[in-house]
Structure 1
């Protein structure tokens, strides 16, 4: 019996060396075409900016209302410029008018965290900051309070200051005035203004502090009798301007020195056009007069571009705080509270002006005296 040899099964398609079957080629072509079409979409998805919500409670009614509005304006133009630049982070700046009651304002901050998903609260002032900084509710939610307008010295793990505190301002004012050759100084302190090291300040000024009560008339009589070359006022706009007016009534027109808590425009309105004394205010950030600094030039240009308003020390301070925050957010890999904290703990040059948070939560001790003027 003979066995027949079975012929090999012919290939369904002729295959040449180095050539795929036609159906396989079509599959490869379709896959390649699909990948080519998908790549732009994937690239766009990969490059889509991450949105970070920054809450902002604006105090329109307190003693710092004028400063708070300027501070907001400076921050807003910075955030607008960041969003227009198309970087890796888009900042959603959610602004709410703060309730006059700090407890209800705290509830607003909690709502920003819960309903708007804000992980950051920008720029609170003196009236609101203590309640916000001591809130267990905000701390539990991981809310970071950044660039407060306030100069209060508060120890809170989630508060990041871009400015010196009021005590540093008072110390610097006394030292700089003595450096100018003014040896006869007077010190006036408002009863609600916290001065942690009053004894040291009195030693620097070489005088005992005078408490401001009522309209300041009694304090003005005591101060004018000593004929000082300058009077340093630890207080808000009203305390500063009312004392200046009472000193003028006593015939004293020396240098009236206030802190960054004073609004130059409001103070001049209270003092009146006829006031002939010299008005000096401390600044905790470079002012518009320092036009050679990059951050000042950028800010002036962006105020004109986005708001068409003149800059002020307060708009510049808000701009610098927002510039620091924007740079920190761009270095964050995610929006988690832990990652936000890590991103804030750096050293940032915002344009010939540096904020350094590598050693703590106060990034600047810059203080200088400048002649006060309305915008």
Structure 2
């Protein structure tokens, strides 16, 4: 059974992210192809080792959408310069990236910030730096974060995902839940959110923190460990964790969240005798909704990449941003664009419904896929 480790992520960083960068046209690259009539849509992206799996797919989906939008005439006749703001996940790096567009009046919106750490940091940094730029469709999974009037999350957070995944189990008498944190960073960032959600669902929670070896952690589980385990981490870590579960005599059920790609997990050598449920705040990639059909056609035409939930999310983020930009009253600038986002209470993006609540979130759309005990993927 192959090891799933940092080496896998390093390979993805060299190959996958490089492919995402070179496959897009000149106008999508920083500092290239901009004209006086173009507008800039900036996308902060976390290229750190821990987030590159998520970032690669999400970015490809967004780039496919913006390339297609430009081929069809852009926004109100103006081409869009899709500017990637690279970050290594640290606040200092993100601050530098945001400083690069702070005083560029052509940059009218931040769209599709990814992953969760970066999206959360931008909410605070936007106020500190006085950006005044609307922040549209970030990959914001933190259910507890206070949202300001310039941030417009359209994807369901952890609370909605966990509730959706566990609702059928709670009706069957689920009382206990194990929470597995893949890294110390995951525990620090997410444990308060998970504990609050478990308390709200009246579930007794057992916490497990990995210390670098997820296979070893899974082999230490006892008969008293809950049968249902919530896994908080990425795809490579979950694949490694399932390998250790092979030696467990008790049947376990794993609930993973939106950062996990089940197809990639299987390719990484995950054990196939443990059912895994993975939530996603977008439609299934084989759904018949118009936005999914458009995504699949655009992706196959412009990129040599398979459909994934994360790239579909990136595509939807860009399409949502485009719909609002295309409906701006008057000239396209930060003030008019922000007013357009604040005015939009409800929007349908090809069957994906966006409707903001009193907390300024639109996050009630959740689907799930399952890897069955015989290794099949079921939507």
Give the TM-score of the pair, scaled to structure 1. Answer: 0.76
From 124, 144, 147, give the equivalent of 2:134. 144
- Kindly tell me: are residues 359 and 241 of structure 1, through their superposed partners in 2, closer, same or farther at Cα, counting changes over 3 Å? same
8 Å contact 2:223–2:250 — kept in the other structure? Answer: no
- Kindly tell me: are residues 90 and 364 of structure 1, through their superposed partners in 2, closer, same or farther at Cα, counting changes over 3 Å? farther
- 1:110 alignment counterpart: 99
CA distance in 2, matches of 1:184, 1:358: 30
From 281, 298, 322, give the equivalent of 2:294. 298
- 1:348 alignment counterpart: 347
CA distance in 2, matches of 1:325, 1:248: 44
- 1:361 alignment counterpart: 360
CA distance in 1, matches of 2:306, 2:242: 26
- 1:129 alignment counterpart: 119
SS in 2 for 1:66: helix
From 34, 57, 62, give the equivalent of 1:75. 62
- 2:146 alignment counterpart: 155
Which runs of 5 or more structure 2 residues have no equivalent in the other structure? Answer: 1-35, 182-186, 372-376
- 1:370 alignment counterpart: 369
Give the number of aligned pairs.
323
8 Å contact 2:258–2:281 — kept in the other structure? Answer: yes
SS in 1 for 2:205: coil
CA distance in 1, matches of 2:198, 2:357: 29
CA distance in 2, matches of 1:197, 1:267: 23
- 1:261 alignment counterpart: 259
- 2:108 alignment counterpart: 119
Alignment map for 1:1-375 (pairs within 5 Å):
51-86=38-73, 87-88=75-76, 89-115=78-104, 117-124=106-113, 125-136=115-126, 140-153=130-143, 154-157=145-148, 158-178=150-170, 181=172, 183=174, 186-190=177-181, 191-194=187-190, 195-196=192-193, 198-202=195-199, 204=201, 206-214=203-211, 215-216=213-214, 220=218, 223-226=221-224, 229-237=227-235, 239-264=237-262, 267-268=265-266, 272=269, 274-290=271-287, 292-333=288-329, 334-345=331-342, 346=344, 347-357=346-356, 359-372=358-371
